[in-house]
Amino acid sequence: AQSVTQLGSHVSVSEGALVLLRCNYSSSVPPYLFWYVQYPNQGLQLLLKYTSAATLVKGINGFEAEFKKSETSFHLTKPSAHMSDAAEYFCAVSKGAAGNKLTFGGGTRVLVKP
Amino acid sequence: DAGVIQSPRHEVTEMGQEVTLRCKPISGHDYLFWYRQTMMRGLELLIYFNNNVPIDDSGMPEDRFSAKMPNASFSTLKIQPSEPRDSAVYFCASSPQGASGNTIYFGEGSWLTVV
């Protein structure tokens, strides 16, 4: 079985500061890993994904994530937070078998302070 | 592309009533998923289809829930009878066939309140 753990259900950052959202996974097979963002009252939008190519993945809106197999981690970062980054972020894992179904972490809500 | 389209966006219904949520996946996508989001349980996969065939419905909470996909461009999720604990956001999502790791695209959700 595969699972995803996101450390911290809420993160508060100042505008211009580093955003770091932590995600650890467990999977019996090499996983595919995703970060999605959910803005208030909206659906989920893909930020980036890891599919066994480069371990450092760049996504939209200046976000990036690094796959570290030894640490079973896929942390999301952005060098400088913007007010528009206030949202909930979900890490998800797919084991790549038929179906592409995703298992989501609990989510991390980001608050950006001016 | 119009994206995944869900209706209704918001529904308030009384306990015991039947609720039908509708979804139009992205054209050409072969996989369709129904997820439920609540504060307590987060995002849960309820059921998914491949080429209109239900593949895994192990996430459907109980017999009151049913889902159908009569054709490649339409799916429904029905709750009968509805209960207050069914209040949640229900997301439909779709993805293309092919290599694993394909992106799953989500609709805007149907916000259900059962009173």
pLDDT in tens, B49-78: 999 999 999 999 889 999 999 999 999 999
pLDDT of the residue at A20: 97
pLDDT of the residue at A31: 80
State yes or no: pLDDT of B46 exceeds 90: yes
- Mean pLDDT on B88-93: 97
Q: Does residue B4 belong to the interface with chain A, where contact is any CB pair within 8 Å?
A: yes
State yes or no: pLDDT of A36 exceeds 60: yes
Instruction: Give the HSE-up count for residue A73: Cα atoms under 13 Å, Cβ half-sphere.
Output: 12
CB contact under 8 A, A107 and B43: yes
A27, A44, A46, A95, best to mutate vs chain B, most B CBs in 10 Å: A44
Among B31, B43, B106, select the one facing A99 at the smallest CB separation: B31
pLDDT of the residue at B9: 96
User: What's the gap in Å between the CA of A14 and the closest CA on chain B?
Assistant: 26
Cβ–Cβ under 8 Å, residues B7 and B74: no
A41 by Cβ neighbours in 10 Å (0-12 / 13-18 / 19+) ranks as: exposed
Of all residues in chain A, the percent with pLDDT exceeding 90 is 70
User: What's the gap in Å between the CA of B95 and the closest CA on chain A?
Assistant: 8
Mean pLDDT, chain A, as a whole number?
90
The total number of residues shown for chain A amounts to 114
- Mean pLDDT on A76-99: 87
The C-alpha angle B66, B71, B77, rounded to 5 degrees, equals: 20
The C-alpha angle A88, B20, B56, rounded to 5 degrees, equals: 70
Q: A108 CB contacts (<8 Å, ≥6 apart)? A: A6, A7, A8, A9, A10, A11, A21, A22, A88, A89, A90
CB contact under 8 A, B109 and A106: no
pLDDT of the residue at A12: 96
State yes or no: pLDDT of A91 exceeds 60: yes
* DSSP-assigned beta bridge partners for residue B100: none
State yes or no: pLDDT of B37 exceeds 70: yes
- Mean pLDDT on A77-106: 86
